[in-house]
Amino acid sequence: MARNRKVCRDCHRVVDPDTNACPSCGSTSFTEDWAGYVVIAHPEDSEIAREMQVTEAGEYALKVR
C-alpha cells in the first residue's frame, strides 16, 4: 500500500492520486489524511463491510479525517 494514495471522504474507498472521481460513489471529495486499511473481497459475506456499509469489493480506509 502506498501512503500517497487518497481516500474518498464519502465512502472511504482508497484510490490512486490521479483519480478525479470515486469509482464507487462518484464523489470528488478526497483527502490524504486517513488511517487504517482494510481490503474487502466479498462484501456480501463480511461483517466489516456491513458495518462500513460497503457493497463493492475493494480497498477502504477505516478512519478518514
Q: Which residues are annotated as a binding site for Zn(2+)?
A: 8, 11, 22, 25
Side chain identity at residue 28, one-letter code: T
- What residues are designated binding site? 8, 11, 22, 25
- The DSSP secondary structure of 23-61, one letter per residue, reads TTT----EES-EEEEEEES-GGG-HHHHHHT--S-EEEE
